[in-house]
Structure 1
């Protein structure tokens, strides 16, 4: 693979293992609002999307989650992720390889910056990304639209063609490909939607130890 000039990491599911905790809580919140669903359905339908987009998608089906739904979600973040947040296996090796190759990198996540500080802080990864955190709250449209990745690349000073995205969700993979970037889609999680990731244009890999070679920094 041709070595990129900028690496853009997603956060949840790529850097930190938060999808299980977060989605179980989302199922509870949705159920309390009258929208009955399952963990598997939430993982498949909403993974990678900003919470405001989740709300819009569900309310388009005729359900009302309340004006404060997104605010309630973010107020619950410190409790949801108080315990059990871990780094994705071997992601530290990826970060080390990217740093050794002197490749610029950043994070572009559907989560707000405060949430990223909490989850990355729990794992000690925040030290790598302190000043390069970009959130869907900074753009008009979140994933699966390309706005966030385009914003991150622009802020970092690179063209889309110079950038690659590391994702784990179908929405994020669609966003990266729509931005004109190569997307490496991590499918090491047992709930990963491999078919969806491939259909969205992702280059699939199931072990973070394989990523440095894909990035040309091994």
Structure 2
């Protein structure tokens, strides 16, 4: 496959791109404002995504009329964020991509609007692969943060490459705007699905980095699929399945716990294990996507019980997602997009007989 663009270095954002920090800190502002009898304005908070720390903090104080200085607000909020950052996990596909690029000698930088002190706190969550970045920059280390191009220009300079030779991977609109202004190519992986339509200035818009193809950018291709399936870090969910849509295909009845450990960026055809209290384990193929026909996008999940010939009872179960097959073919009609093919079932059934996909069923969660 011929490369659409040739790049020689890759620059990553941190929050919402490498780490799922946006989601684990989502409720902090609600709790803090409640003490002042205030409720967050969802529209204003969406616009704050990716802003510089000082800009965001000043905006919160002004928008909600808080009787605090920036310093007082920061002092009160920092320990709350620090505790939540410890719970943040890498987003799907990022560790695979970073380690792959580093192994193949591609220069990597991390460029975040977060202040450097906060970046250092979060880097511990990247474990050993945090060392893959030869350049790490915070918003307080350049004259202006995103959407200014300053941080990307400085990252390219420190990497020793021209900005036009860089590929930037971002989740926020301000990050995409800054990267494009620098002359870099941009892959957007939006954190907020309600804003996907705003990312048209990016060169490519993905749901997750599981769908990133390095060869399209002149980078070494992945070679880690196993019989058509990609191992992923296990994702866990407690689900309640509803009546059958077709044969052994069921829709999940969502509640607050269904997507507690499944990032918003997850979309596509996956597979793994279901465990019932009475019936034990079952191989499953899982279609996960977003229904954009609603005013507020809603998540939808379908589960196909691969090795079940009898009717599945509608009951709660534990779900462990261990592998990825493909992206959804379309998002215009979510029910059609979540269709699971015979080929999907074959890939899942064969893969789940392999140790790479089966061993976690007896370990981390489903015991």
TM, length-normalised to structure 1:
0.83
- Written as runs of structure 1 = structure 2, the 5 A alignment for 1:145-160 is 145-160=148-163
Tell me by how many angstroms 1:197 deviates.
1.7
Which of 55, 58, 65 is matched with 2:57 structurally? 55
Distance (whole Å) between structure 1 residues aligned to residue 90 and residue 194 of structure 2: 17
Matched residue, 1:209: 210
Q: Does 1:197 align with 2:206?
A: no
Largest Rg, 1 or 2: 2
Root-mean-square deviation (Å):
2.6
Asked if residue 76 in structure 1 is aligned to residue 80 in structure 2, the reply is yes
Instruction: Give 1:19 deviation, angstroms.
Output: 0.5
2:291 is matched with none
Conserved? CA contact 1:9–1:108, under 8 Å: yes
Equivalence for 1:162: 165
Gaps (5+ residues) in structure 2? 222-367
Retained in 1: the 8 A contact 2:102–2:132? no
Say whether the 8 Å CA contact 1:52–1:70 is kept in structure 2.
no
Is it true that 1:128 corresponds to 2:121 in the alignment?
no
Taking the aligned partners of 1:78 and 1:90, their CA distance within structure 2 comes to 24
Question: 1:194 deviation in Å?
Answer: 0.7
Structural mapping, 1:87-106, within 5 Å: 87-106=90-109
Residue 32 of structure 1: CA displacement? 4.8
Superimposed CA distance per residue, residues 7-29 of structure 1 (whole angstroms, 9 cap, x where no aligned partner): 10000111111111223213444
**What's the offset of the Cα at 1:103?**
1.1
Q: Tell me how many residue pairs correspond in the alignment.
A: 213
Mean Cα deviation higher: 52-61 or 200-209 = 52-61
Aligned partner of residue 199 in structure 2, secondary structure: helix
Q: Secondary structure at the match of 1:7?
A: strand
Relative to structure 1, the CA distance from residue 192 to residue 117 in structure 2 (aligned partners, 3 Å threshold; closer, same or farther) is farther
Aligned-partner Cα distance in 2 for 1:95–1:45: 28
| More contact order relative to length (CA 8 Å, sep ≥ 6) | 1
The answer to whether residue 125 in structure 2 is matched with residue 111 in structure 1 is no
Give the structure with the higher percent helix: 1
Q: What is the distance in 2 between the residues matched to 1:132 and 1:60?
A: 35
Is 1:16 matched up with 2:23? Answer: no
Q: Which has the higher strand share?
A: 2
When structure 1 is superposed on structure 2, of 9-18 and 59-68 the one drifting more is 59-68
